[in-house]
Structure 1
Amino acid sequence: MASIMVLSLNPALDLSIGLERLSPGEVNRTRETHLEAAGKGVNVARVLVALGHEVTVSGFLGADNDGAFRRAFETLGIEDAFLRVPGETRTNVKLAEDDGRVTDINGPGVVIDADAWRRLIDRLTQRCEAFSPRPRAVVIAGSLPPGVTPAMLAELVALGRAAGLPVWVDTSGPALDAAITAGATAVKPNEHELAVWMGRTSLDASARHGAAQRLRDAGAEEAVVSAGAEGVLWLGRRGAWEAMPPRVEAVNTVGAGDTLVAALLHGVLDDVSPDVALRLATALSAEAVRHVGVGRPDADDFSELQRQTRVYRLEEGDDAGGALA
């Protein structure tokens, strides 16, 4: 399997809380709580390791509360190349109600100064150009912490591309624009992030296809759009593909998109056919929404989830449907 570098610039401690119903302004009793080292990049790393890859994670962690991350990386066998900076890593709270509504309360992250940024650039330059084993791909996932601008994210993308590595990016807003301009190999907005990128409030299935093509026209070699139960769209060098996930009971959607990115990159690096790669990634993403956390490829019914996933090859100009693969 491949050696992969994952960058999580703004990781978080995820506090997931399950309760029957949230009553603002009142005392609420929780049914369950779960605290986990997370953030989009860390979630991507978890899935890649579960799929058999050697993963190094880097970015910034607050030195005052990094214990949960150290324990998680040791348990999972992930190489910890995070830079420690003064302060505490943010805590994100996910309030999940029985009716499926999820309320996110996300912290801004620890402030990154110029010295910390330069140290990260120096470390990544060494990893990408001279380190052995050299990574086969770089993934940059998540939001930007205070002090890190979209232009600085573009610097990371350019660094990886200059080293001859594919760089996959999962972010949104101005950071997504910057990543595309800098030459990101692949980008993965969800349908809401893609609508914002297009200057729209929402996109139907037909408009999503056109918007994904716009991502490619802007410079992304691979455009992956996740739309929950409405499926996944993948436009790139392997053609235009669409997948419809199996029907599952959604409990928590946090981590589904991260699972999709990791599993699709896994398929690309393994050089499997695009329909096989997209089927696995879509099914694993669907598996993730059934519980807190990322998708579990060792789930007892994962083979059945893959069998129930429908993958279509889209012809040039198709907005929906296509040939079943």
Structure 2
Amino acid sequence: MARVLTISLNPALDLTIGLPALALGEVNRTDETHLSAAGKGVNVARVLVSLGHEVVVSGFLGADNDGLFRRAFADMGVEDAFQRVPGETRINAKLAEHSGRVTDVNGPGVAIEAEAFTGFLDELDARAADESRRPDAVVIAGSLPPGISADDQAALIARLRAQGLPVWVDTSGPALASAIAAAPSGVKPNELELADWAGEPLDNEPRRLAAGLRLHQSGIEDALISAGADGVLWVSHRGAWHATPPTMTVASTVGAGDTLLAAMLHGVLEGHAPDAALRFATALSAEAVRHVGVGNSRAADFPYLQQQTRVRRLNDVDAGGALA
């Protein structure tokens, strides 16, 4: 198995609130509430650990409320390489209704000073240069905190790539556009997040395929575009592939995208056949939506979910990024 470094520049404590339906301006009664250490990179780490990989988690945490993170990392069995900074890590509220609709109320995050970011970069350089600590892949996931710009993240990607490290990115907005320009190894946007970059709604398969081919042509080795029940598109040197997930009763979509990224990276690192890798990742992401949290590959019916996941090859992709 591989050693993977996940970077969460703006992690959060997730306050997940389950309720029948959100009534604005009224008192709402909840079914459950749960406060957990989260952030997209932390969720990716959870999945990778469950699949047997050695994982190091890094980024920035507020020193004043890192207790839940410390306990979570110990329980997960990952190396905690987060840099502590003054202040509190943000708390994000996720209101999950029975219909499957999730309303996110996200804080901006703790401000990162230039000196702290420089120290973080120096530590990454030292890790990359040390064969005993050098990761086989890096995942940068989530939003950016105050003090770190989209250009800073792009420079971070370029720095890691210059050291010969595979880098996968999952972010949105201007940070996604800048990340794509820095040509990471892989990106995993959903169709809504990628639409601004593509310049049009990605509301059907031909448009998503065209966007995936553009990503691949720009130098991104693995372009992974998720579109909910419409499935997952994967464009790489292995060809253009599409997976349709099994029909699921959606309880929460929180963690499904992180599960997809982690499971696809797992398949790539382990050298699995393309159809098997995409089927596994899509099915595991589907498993995640029926409960709060990331996908569980040990679920009793997971083999059935894989069987119900339809994978088809669209065609070959040539070096120029067009269908052969």
TM-score w.r.t. structure 1 length?
Answer: 0.95
Gaps of 5+ in 2: 318-324
In the alignment, the residues of structure 1 paired with residue 59 and residue 185 of structure 2 have an alpha-carbon distance, to the nearest angstrom, of: 20
8 Å CA contact 1:73–1:79 kept in 2: the answer is yes
Equivalenced residue count is 317
Q: Counterparts of 1:222 and 1:28 in 2: how far apart (Å)?
A: 43
Q: How does 1:15-94 map to 2 (within 5 A)?
A: 15-94=15-94
Mapped contact 2:12–2:92 kept (Cα < 8 A): yes
Q: How far apart, CA to CA, are the structure 1 residues paired with 2:34 and 2:276?
A: 33
| Cα distance in structure 2, aligned partners of 1:290 and 1:42 | 20
Asked if residue 275 in structure 1 is aligned to residue 275 in structure 2, the reply is yes
Match of 1:4 in 2: 4
Query: Shift of the alpha carbon at 1:201?
Result: 4.3
- Aligned ranges 1:157-172 → 2 under 5 Å: 157-172=157-172
For residues 200 and 106 of structure 2, what CA distance do their matches in structure 1 show? Answer: 24
Which residue does the alignment assign to 2:321?
none
1:183 Cα offset (Å): 2.4
Q: Distance between the aligned counterparts of 2:212 and 2:194, measured in 1?
A: 8
Moved over 2 A (4+): 199-203
Query: Structure 1 stretch 35-44 or stretch 180-189: which is displaced more?
Result: 180-189
Amino acid at match of 1:240: A
Superposed CA offset, 1:112-171 (max 9, x none): 110110011011111112251321001101111111011111122112211111111111
- Contact 1:92-1:104 at 8 Å conserved across structures: yes
- State percent identity of aligned pairs: 64
Q: 1:322 is matched with which residue?
A: none
TM-score by length of 2: 0.95
Give the superposition deviation at 1:306.
Answer: 0.7
Q: Report the AA paired with residue 109 of structure 1.
A: G
Match for 1:31: what amino acid?
Answer: D
- Provide the C-alpha distance between the structure 2 equivalents of 1:266 and 1:57, rounded to a whole number of angstroms: 16
Which residue of structure 2 aligns with residue 238 of structure 1?
A: 238
Paired residue type of 1:3: R
Q: Distance in 1 between matches of 2:170 and 2:124?
A: 18
Which residue is equivalent to 2:153? 153
1:202 offset after TM fit, Å?
4.6
The 1-side partners of 2:315 and 2:29 are apart by: 52
Q: CA RMSD in A?
A: 1.2
Could you report, residue by residue, the CA deviation over 1:36-70 in whole angstroms, capped at 9, with x for unpaired residues?
A: 10110000000000000000010000011101100
Worse-matched range after superposition: 106-115 or 153-162: 153-162
On the 8 A contact 1:181/1:219 being kept in 2, the answer is no
Tell me, yes or no, if structure 1 residue 136 matches structure 2 residue 136.
yes
Measured in 2, the distance between the counterparts of 1:188 and 1:204 equals: 17
Specify the alignment match of 1:257 in structure 2: 257
1:247 partner SS: coil
Task: Note if 1:288 corresponds to 2:288.
Answer: yes
1:249-270: CA deviation from partner (whole Å, max 9, x where unpaired): 1100011000000000000000
Question: Which residue pairs with 2:226 in the alignment?
Answer: 226
Q: In the alignment, which residue of structure 1 is the partner of 2:194?
A: 194
CA distance in 1, matches of 2:21, 2:211: 36
Shift of 1:219: 2.5
